[in-house]
Amino acid sequence: MDVSIGSVLGALLAVLVSTLLIRVMFLLVWKPYAVSRWFRGQGVGSPSYSRMIGYFDSLIPDCIIYICACVCHSGKTFLYWFGAVPTICVAEVDLVKQVLTERTGLFPKDYLNPNTEALLGKGLVLTNGEDWKRHRKVVHPAFNLDKLKAMSVVMADLAQHMMQQWQCQILQATNHEAEIELSSEFSELTSDVIAHTAFGSSYKEGKEVFVAQKELQELAFSASLDIPAPGRLR
């Protein structure tokens, strides 16, 4: 019986498309359903899942508001999805302490986008096991009680200076009312605290460094939303 090449290629193409479709349906439909159902059985709630964009892809600017809404809807421990990756958010103090103090490897820090990892480096926050112990031993002297007390004085002075600036804006404004962008103000305050306590300078003196760092963070975070595909450059 003669079989044309076109028929063979058509059959192969149909098999490939069917396999791809089954895999996509498993990842975007069955997996979220099964995982969410299993966690609900353990008492962990979850907001509704959007199969095409997950949760955060279109909610990055309002992620804090979204997290608060999830806590109100599903409790302080809930399941959310970053694209097709299931993640547990823990906002209960006792559980947070348990995760942070547990050192047996049950909660490893092993899921991170390579771009973000390159930006942050393999420091205390991202290491496990013996590497974590070694890094902790190195940075521990910088956080003794006397040094923390000195840092708290600097933080209080900078916060007071920021509030004095707000008060001046209010007094100079019409009807003594002024609109203040708290996000940028607190971001600058945080940078100023780091600059004073870690480098002995001010935010204004090192503003270019902090601006460049913020741009790197935004680029790394944007890259974390990309879907990696195997291949090579030619």
Where along the chain do its domains lie? 40-101, 144-223
Over the stretch 121-144, which tens digit does the pLDDT of each residue have? 777 777 777 887 888 888 787 777
Joined tokens for residue 6: 């076109």
Considering only residues 157 and 221, tell me which one the structure prediction assigns the higher pLDDT: 157
Check residue 8 and give its pLDDT: 65
Measured between alpha carbons, how far is 222 from 63 in angstroms, rounded to an integer?
A: 14
pLDDT at 158 over 80: yes
Check residue 4 and give its pLDDT: 66
pLDDT at 234 over 50: no
Considering only residues 190 and 83, tell me which one the structure prediction assigns the higher pLDDT: 190
Confidence category of residue 160, pLDDT binned at 50, 70, 90: very high
Joined tokens for residue 165: 């600036």
Measured between alpha carbons, how far is 190 from 154 in angstroms, rounded to an integer?
A: 12
Check residue 163 and give its pLDDT: 92
User: Which residue has 């942070």 as its token pair?
Assistant: 100
Joined tokens for residue 75: 């409790």
pLDDT at 37 over 80: yes
Considering only residues 161 and 102, tell me which one the structure prediction assigns the higher pLDDT: 161
What is the three-state SS of 126-186? CCCHHHHHHHHHHHHHHHCHHHHHHHHHHHHHHHHHHHHHHHHHHHHCHHHCCCCCHHHHH
Q: What percent of the chain is modeled with pLDDT above 70?
A: 79
Check residue 3 and give its pLDDT: 52
Tell me the HSE value of 139 on the side-chain side, using a 13 A CA sphere. 10
Over the stretch 46-73, which tens digit does the pLDDT of each residue have? 776 654 444 444 444 456 677 777 788 7
Q: What percent of the chain is modeled with pLDDT above 90?
A: 5
Ranges 27-36, 111-120, 168-177: which has the least confidence: 111-120
Check residue 156 and give its pLDDT: 92
Average pLDDT (176-186) is 84
Check residue 212 and give its pLDDT: 81
Long-range contacts, stretch 130-137, CB < 8 angstroms, 24+ apart = 132/103
Long-range contacts, stretch 49-58, CB < 8 angstroms, 24+ apart = 49/81, 52/28, 53/83, 54/81, 54/82, 54/83, 54/84, 54/85, 55/80, 55/81, 55/82, 56/80, 56/82, 56/83, 57/83, 57/225
Check residue 53 and give its pLDDT: 44
Average pLDDT (199-215) is 77
What is the full DSSP assignment across 88-141? EEE--HHHHHHHHH--SSSS------HHHHHHH-SSTTT--HHHHHHHHHHHGG
Over the stretch 77-124, which tens digit does the pLDDT of each residue have? 888 877 677 888 888 888 888 887 776 777 777 666 676 677 777 777
